[in-house]
């Protein structure tokens, strides 16, 4: 692995007695796309704020581009682009002015910033909205403007905190496309998400975080290989019967997870397991065979769903 | 967009942080002043209309009653004008140091956006103060010009009031700032500051009459009020009001001290709130 | 019209022709009670603080300028103390401020941001119900402030005649006038910047309307302009009643407010209908 752009060792953030981030260690290589996957309250955002050099760590080591955020906050932030969970665009300014004002914070001269703003509006597909009020933009447009704003300083690392939460499917795909282009250009991406499809789309490597600690680490495919089977069979027998039937299906598939509304049966061949169930005389109300996802990895690791 | 490959050298990183470290406060002020442009017409009209209306209504209208009864002597207009110019500065401060704080932290959290860029908490405080001054100073200057037109500024050094009035506004603003910046939820605190802070200060700071006209039980409001100190300071310059030199110095020192303490506290509040 | 017992008639049981037709459902009560409920969730201290504003003015100027000014003559030539001169003016101002705040900024937010009125007008309520209901709410607030201030005046001995008790209905009339007019103006406003102009009108009116000194200090031309302002009319009416300096001109002031109320209601109703029902 080449020299890391971010390296964290035993990174910890405590609020009074509560440890929001509890001794996590990871490294991110240049140009890599790195994800923090976990449910709400897992400590993802706090980690992002520490990496963003706006939240002081309680203990542990943290180095961004070789600098310690405790001494070199402004220098580090000069190299970062930050897309926060909640859009914090300036609603009193128009779309293009938001980019200009933000560019000034990085010391970009007036002459250069206008051109940069137009270029970014083009990239964010907002060129025709340059003079709009921020409030008049749709949710997806606001997100794209926030991403454009984060790119105003040509950041080496782009931090995205749940970039597509709350967006409709079409807006998410447009956004993923833009992020994928950045990745192709060599920008290091660090993102948090609680959507496994997003993590699978965008991340080269990810860590699964829960309760402030890292549960597992690897590429999406490797994590699925390691913690799940190739396929999953989902069967429903009705909310009141799932539990009872599951007990009688022992021996079918490698492993079961019983959820309130369905039973998940992990196997290399889902159709074969379904046939076994039928043979045993059980008739599920519905059945579905699908490939394993990160959701299954998370369920295996924590016993809980990602989105509750 | 340019592709980024090799890691930057340490020197390159330090160099990139230099401009934000040096000019960050000014960038924040620039931002704030840009967003004031939406209200420019209102601000300009107010800054001219206010002094004209107040000087006419209180200096001349009310003055005709007071001068008649006290048999002329000291012109009421010249007496009340320094109080009015200082109050105008306080009013602007009362706007700039209240809602914009709630705005920047909560309603439209741009302070967090600034802080995610290379801007530090103390630079945001400085920037907001500079932007407020960019409104307070012109307001006081316009006020002074209109005072001159009304013949309300007899002394040759009366123009110094533009600075003393601005200082008064700043002192009030910086006392409010640490509080407004720490408000987590708007439950009408801003209206309360206005009604139980700014308004009584305006009425009980020896603005319309010498403080001594009030019962001793109410005079203390004036002594602790930045507006009283600012007004008295203004009167010294406006028409050469006679008071002991040490008292004049106290006025000045008191206002400067409030600024210094408020500024420090505000920086601390901002730093704590941004570093969650 | 025939209807079987199983299929309820779509025609309301009693359809009586109403004077104002679709404008008024006779249910302004519903709007008032919604407002009263909403008031519960606001901060009482903030509501209460509005009551202190005129008292601060009275204590400051009444005390501070009493000796410097001495006595002042009312319009009818009666000399009264300075505090007794400004107190009725502050009472009228309190009524005005309460009414104006509730009928302008509050209404502006409800119209443009919380979309409250479009919701109300999609029920059986008519625009006049909404207008009347909102105005009555504003009146209630103005009335509460006024009663409190009257008590303070009584305690300080600033009610000089028995007619002072009539100042209460007078103040409600004034508040009604400002509220209905204020709401009419607000219903035409589109932006915050436009709303700022309301302050531009209110502030000079507060200072110029014989509040702190008699209108006679002005040159005759200015006097005529000031006398045309609603606040001057209100101040004169209340001052006549609390000081006992009665005159026939006071009937004119009452008429002035009656006309103001009528104009306000007509325009508000028309505007609300145009905005939400056409």
CB A231 within 8 A of CB A267: yes
Nearest to B53 among C68, C196, C207 (CB): C207
- Residues composing chain A: 308
Query: Residue B93 domain-assigned?
Result: yes
User: For residue B6, what pLDDT is reported?
Assistant: 59
Of the candidates C57, C112, C77, C90, the residue with the CA atom closest to the CA atom of residue C167: C90
DSSP character string of B119-151: --HHHHHHHHHHHHHHHHHHHHHHHHHHHHHTT
Query: Residue B12 domain-assigned?
Result: no
pLDDT at C11 over 80: no
Collect the ranges in chain A with pLDDT lower than 70.
1-2, 304-308
Cβ–Cβ contacts within 10 Å for residue C197, how many?
14
Torsion of CA B248, B250, B254, B256, to 10 degrees: 60
Query: Residue B46 domain-assigned?
Result: yes
pLDDT at B5 over 60: no
**Torsion sign over Cα B108, B112, B114, B117:** negative
- Residues composing chain C: 278
User: For residue C198, what pLDDT is reported?
Assistant: 86
Start-to-end CA distance of chain C, whole Å, equals 30
Of the candidates A79, A72, A74, the residue with the CA atom closest to the CA atom of residue A151: A79
Residue contact C68–B45, C-beta within 8 A: no
Between vectors from CA A201 to CA A195 and to CA A207, what angle results, nearest 5°? Answer: 60
Nearest to B57 among C60, C72, C207 (CB): C207
Decide if A79 touches B, using CB distance below 8 A. yes
User: For residue B260, what pLDDT is reported?
Assistant: 98
Please give the Cα distance from C105 to C128 (Å, whole number).
19
Residues C20-47 pLDDT 10s: 667 777 777 788 788 777 776 666 777 7
Please give the Cα distance from A277 to A284 (Å, whole number).
9
Nearest to B195 among C52, C213, C217 (CB): C52
pLDDT at C225 over 70: yes
- Residues composing chain B: 276
SS3 B32: helix
Residues C136-170 pLDDT 10s: 888 887 888 888 899 999 999 999 999 999 999 99
Nearest to C193 among B42, B196, B199 (CB): B42
Residue contact A92–B18, C-beta within 8 A: no
* Residue B223 structure tokens: 């002594």
* CATH numbers and ranges of domains, chain A: 6-224 (3.40.50.300), 229-291 (3.30.70)
Residues 217-276 of B with CB under 8 A from A: 274-276
Please give the Cα distance from B2 to B269 (Å, whole number).
39
Query: Residue B113 domain-assigned?
Result: yes
Torsion of CA A118, A121, A123, A129, to 10 degrees: -140
Please give the Cα distance from B4 to A81 (Å, whole number).
13
Decide if B72 touches C, using CB distance below 8 A. no
Give the pLDDT mean for C228-235.
95
DSSP character string of C194-240: HHHHHHHHHHHHHHHSSSSS-GGGS-HHHHHHHHHSHHHHHHHHHHH
User: For residue C101, what pLDDT is reported?
Assistant: 79
Decide if B43 touches C, using CB distance below 8 A. no
All chains having 3 or more CB pairs closer than 8 angstroms to chain A: B
Burial A108-125 (b: 16+ CB within 10 A, else e): beeeebeebbebbbebbe
User: Per residue, what are the HEC states of C85-141?
Assistant: HHHHHHHHHHHHHHHHHHHCHHHHHHHHCCCHHHHHCCCCCCHHHHHHHHHHHHHHH
Please give the Cα distance from A37 to A195 (Å, whole number).
8
CB A152 within 8 A of CB A99: yes
Half-sphere exposure of B188 (CA within 13 A, CB side): 13
Residues C52-70 pLDDT 10s: 888 999 999 988 888 888 8
Residue B157 φ then ψ, to 5°: -100, 15
Contacts of B61 in chain C (CB under 8 A): 207-208, 212-213, 217-218
Domain boundaries, chain C: 21-276
Residues 6+ apart with CB under 8 A from C150: C91, C159, C164, C167, C168
Of the candidates A135, C204, B25, A155, the residue with the CA atom closest to the CA atom of residue A145: A135
Residues 6+ apart with CB under 8 A from A96: A117, A118, A121, A130, A131
Residues 6+ apart with CB under 8 A from A45: A85, A161, A192
Give the pLDDT mean for B190-215.
91
User: For residue A121, what pLDDT is reported?
Assistant: 95
Task: Provide the β-strand partners of residue A59.
Answer: A12
User: For residue C117, what pLDDT is reported?
Assistant: 78
User: For residue C88, what pLDDT is reported?
Assistant: 95
Residue contact B70–C203, C-beta within 8 A: no
Of the candidates B13, B5, B7, B6, the residue with the CA atom closest to the CA atom of residue A186: B5
CB C187 within 8 A of CB C271: yes
Nearest to B70 among C60, C68, C208 (CB): C68
Residues 6+ apart with CB under 8 A from A110: A104
Please give the Cα distance from B252 to B233 (Å, whole number).
7
CB A55 within 8 A of CB A49: yes
SS3 A290: strand
User: For residue C2, what pLDDT is reported?
Assistant: 40
Decide if A186 touches B, using CB distance below 8 A. yes
Residues 6+ apart with CB under 8 A from B117: A77, A82, A102, A105, A106, A153, B20
User: For residue C278, what pLDDT is reported?
Assistant: 67
pLDDT at B3 over 50: no
Q: What is the mean pLDDT of chain C?
A: 83
Cβ–Cβ contacts within 10 Å for residue A41, how many?
12
Task: Provide the β-strand partners of residue A34.
Answer: A190, A205
Residue contact B17–A101, C-beta within 8 A: no
Query: Residue B2 domain-assigned?
Result: no
Q: Residue A29's closest chain B neighbor by CA?
A: B7
Decide if C63 touches B, using CB distance below 8 A. yes
Query: Residue B1 domain-assigned?
Result: no
Q: Which residue has the tokens 């580090």?
A: A76
Q: Which residue has the tokens 């008649």?
A: B68
All chains having 3 or more CB pairs closer than 8 angstroms to chain C: B
Query: Residue B180 domain-assigned?
Result: yes
User: For residue B74, what pLDDT is reported?
Assistant: 56
pLDDT at C8 over 50: no
Cβ–Cβ contacts within 10 Å for residue B260, how many?
12
CA dist list (Å): A98 to A88, A101, A105, B127, B233: 10, 5, 11, 17, 42
Residues C83-117 pLDDT 10s: 999 999 999 998 888 888 778 887 888 777 767 77
Please give the Cα distance from B186 to B181 (Å, whole number).
11
pLDDT at C75 over 70: yes
A25 burial level (CB within 10 Å; 0-12, 13-18, 19+): middle
Decide if B1 touches A, using CB distance below 8 A. yes
User: For residue A218, what pLDDT is reported?
Assistant: 93
Residues 6+ apart with CB under 8 A from B57: C204, C207, C208, C212
Which region holds residue C70: left if phi is over 0, alpha if psi is between -120 and 50, else beta? Answer: left
Cβ–Cβ contacts within 10 Å for residue C186, how many?
25
pLDDT band for position B269 (cuts 50, 70, 90) = very high
Predicted structure pTM score: 0.87
User: For residue C3, what pLDDT is reported?
Assistant: 41
pLDDT at B231 over 80: yes
Residue contact A78–B24, C-beta within 8 A: no
Residues A92-101 pLDDT 10s: 899 999 999 9
Nearest to B65 among C45, C64, C213 (CB): C213
Lowest-pLDDT choice from A31-40, B265-274, C269-278: C269-278
Nearest to B208 among C61, C196, C204 (CB): C61
Decide if B216 touches C, using CB distance below 8 A. no
ipTM for this model: 0.88
Going edge to edge, which strands form the sheet with A205-210? A80-83, A157-161, A188-193, A33-37, A205-210, A213-218
Decide if B186 touches C, using CB distance below 8 A. no
Range of the domain at B93: 23-274
Residues A154-197 pLDDT 10s: 999 999 998 888 888 888 888 888 888 989 888 999 999 878 78
Best A2, A104, A150, A158 member to test B by mutation, with max B CBs in 10 Å, is A104
Q: What percent of chain B has pLDDT over 90?
A: 70
User: For residue A306, what pLDDT is reported?
Assistant: 58
Contacts of A149 in chain B (CB under 8 A): 113
SS3 A294: helix
Nearest to B214 among C52, C57, C63 (CB): C63
Query: Residue B17 domain-assigned?
Result: no
Residue contact B38–C193, C-beta within 8 A: yes
pLDDT at B144 over 80: yes
pLDDT band for position C4 (cuts 50, 70, 90) = very low
Of the candidates C124, C53, C206, the residue with the CA atom closest to the CA atom of residue B54: C206
User: For residue A307, what pLDDT is reported?
Assistant: 54
Please give the Cα distance from C75 to C85 (Å, whole number).
11
C188 burial level (CB within 10 Å; 0-12, 13-18, 19+): exposed
Q: What percent of chain B has pLDDT over 70?
A: 95
Residue A79 φ then ψ, to 5°: -105, 0
Domain count, chain B: 1
SS3 A159: strand
Residue B194 per-residue DSSP state = I
pLDDT at B32 over 80: yes
Residue contact B3–A185, C-beta within 8 A: yes
All chains having 3 or more CB pairs closer than 8 angstroms to chain B: A, C
Give the pLDDT mean for C223-252.
92
Best B19, B96, B118, B126 member to test A by mutation, with max A CBs in 10 Å, is B118
Residue contact B10–A119, C-beta within 8 A: no
Q: Which residue has the tokens 């600690």?
A: A213
DSSP character string of B203-215: HSSSSSS-GGGS-
Please give the Cα distance from B105 to B102 (Å, whole number).
5
User: For residue A2, what pLDDT is reported?
Assistant: 61
SS3 C5: coil
Report which secondary-structure segment, H or E, holds B86.
helix B76-96
């Amino acid at each position: 692995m080449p020299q890391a752009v971010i390296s964290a060792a035993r990174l910890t953030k405590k609020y009074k007695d509560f440890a929001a981030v509890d001794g996590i260690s990871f490294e991110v290589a240049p140009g890599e796309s790195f994800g923090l996957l976990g449910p709400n309250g897992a400590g993802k955002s706090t980690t992002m704020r520490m990496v963003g050099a706006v939240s002081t760590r309680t203990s542990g080591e943290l180095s961004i581009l070789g600098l310690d955020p405790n001494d070199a906050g402004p220098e580090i932030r000069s190299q970062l682009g930050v897309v926060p969970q909640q859009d914090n665009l300036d609603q009193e300014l128009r779309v293009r002015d938001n980019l200009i004002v933000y560019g000034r914070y990085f010391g970009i001269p007036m002459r250069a910033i206008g051109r940069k703003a137009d270029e970014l509006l083009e990239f964010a597909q907002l060129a025709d909205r340059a003079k709009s009020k921020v409030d008049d933009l749709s949710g997806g447009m606001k997100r794209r403007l926030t991403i454009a704003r984060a790119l105003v300083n040509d950041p080496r690392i782009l931090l995205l905190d749940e970039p597509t939460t709350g967006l409709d499917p079409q807006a998410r795909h447009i956004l993923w496309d833009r992020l994928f282009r950045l990745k192709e250009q060599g920008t290091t991406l660090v993102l948090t998400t609680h959507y496994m499809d997003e993590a699978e789309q965008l991340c080269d490597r990810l860590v699964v975080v829960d309760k402030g600690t890292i549960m597992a680490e690897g590429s999406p495919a490797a994590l699925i290989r390691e913690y799940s089977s190739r396929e999953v069979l989902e069967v429903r027998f009705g909310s009141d019967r799932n539990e009872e039937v599951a007990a009688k299906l022992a021996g079918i598939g490698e492993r079961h997870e019983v959820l309130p509304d369905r039973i998940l049966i992990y196997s290399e061949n889902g159709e074969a397991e379904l046939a076994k169930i039928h043979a045993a005389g059980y008739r599920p109300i519905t059945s579905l065979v699908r490939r394993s996802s990160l959701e299954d990895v998370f369920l295996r690791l924590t016993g809980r769903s990602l989105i509750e | 967009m340019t592709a980024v490959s090799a890691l930057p050298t340490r020197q390159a990183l330090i160099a990139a942080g230099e401009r934000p470290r040096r000019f960050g406060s000014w960038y924040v002020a620039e931002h704030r002043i840009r967003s004031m442009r939406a209200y420019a017409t209102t601000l300009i009209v107010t800054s001219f209309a206010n002094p004209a209306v107040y000087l006419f209504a209180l200096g001349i209208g009310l003055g005709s009653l007071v001068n008649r009864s006290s048999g002329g002597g000291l012109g009421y207009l010249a007496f009340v004008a320094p109080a009015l110019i200082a109050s105008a500065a306080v009013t602007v401060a009362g706007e700039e140091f209240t809602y914009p704080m709630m705005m920047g932290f909560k309603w439209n959290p741009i302070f967090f956006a600034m802080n995610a860029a290379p801007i530090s908490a103390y630079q945001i405080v400085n920037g907001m103060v500079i932007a407020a001054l960019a409104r307070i100073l012109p307001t006081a200057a316009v006020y002074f010009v209109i005072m001159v037109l009304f013949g309300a500024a007899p002394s040759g050094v009366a123009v110094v009031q533009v600075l003393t009035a601005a200082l008064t506004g700043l002192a009030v603003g910086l006392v409010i700032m640490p509080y407004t910046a720490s408000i987590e939820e708007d439950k009408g605190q801003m209206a309360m500051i206005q009604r139980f802070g700014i308004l009584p200060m305006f009425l009980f700071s020896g603005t319309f009459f010498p403080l001594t006209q009030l019962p001793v039980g109410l005079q203390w409001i004036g002594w602790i009020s930045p507006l009283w100190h600012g007004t008295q300071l203004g009167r010294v310059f406006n028409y050469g009001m006679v008071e002991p030199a040490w008292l004049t110095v106290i006025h000045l020192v008191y206002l400067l001290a409030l600024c210094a303490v408020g500024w420090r506290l505000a920086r601390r509040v901002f730093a704590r709130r941004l570093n969650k | 019209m025939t209807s079987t017992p199983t299929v309820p008639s779509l025609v309301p049981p009693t359809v009586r022709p109403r004077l104002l037709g679709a404008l008024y459902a006779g249910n302004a009560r519903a709007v008032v009670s919604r407002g009263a409920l909403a008031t519960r969730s606001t901060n009482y201290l903030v509501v209460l603080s509005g009551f202190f504003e005129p008292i601060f003015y009275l204590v400051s100027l009444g005390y501070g300028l009493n000796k410097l000014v001495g006595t002042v003559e009312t319009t009818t030539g009666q000399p009264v103390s300075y505090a007794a001169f400004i107190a009725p003016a502050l009472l009228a101002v309190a009524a005005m401020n309460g009414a104006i705040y509730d009928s302008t900024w509050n209404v502006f937010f409800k119209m443009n941001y919380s979309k409250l009125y479009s919701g109300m007008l999609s029920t059986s309520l008519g625009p006049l119900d909404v207008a009347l209901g909102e105005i009555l709410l504003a009146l209630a607030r103005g009335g509460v402030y006024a009663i409190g201030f009257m008590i303070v005046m009584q305690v300080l001995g600033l009610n000089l005649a028995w007619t002072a008790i009539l100042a209460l209905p007078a103040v409600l009339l004034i508040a009604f006038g400002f509220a209905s007019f204020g709401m009419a103006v607000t219903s035409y406003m589109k932006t915050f910047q436009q709303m700022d102009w309301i302050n531009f009108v209110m502030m000079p009116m507060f200072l110029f309307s014989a509040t702190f000194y008699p209108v006679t200090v002005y040159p005759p031309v200015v006097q005529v302009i000031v006398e045309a302002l609603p606040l001057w009319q209100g101040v004169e009416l209340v001052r006549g009643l609390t000081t006992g300096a009665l005159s026939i001109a006071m009937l004119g002031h009452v008429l002035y407010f009656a006309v103001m109320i009528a104009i306000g209601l007509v325009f508000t109703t028309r505007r609300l209908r145009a905005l939400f029902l056409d």
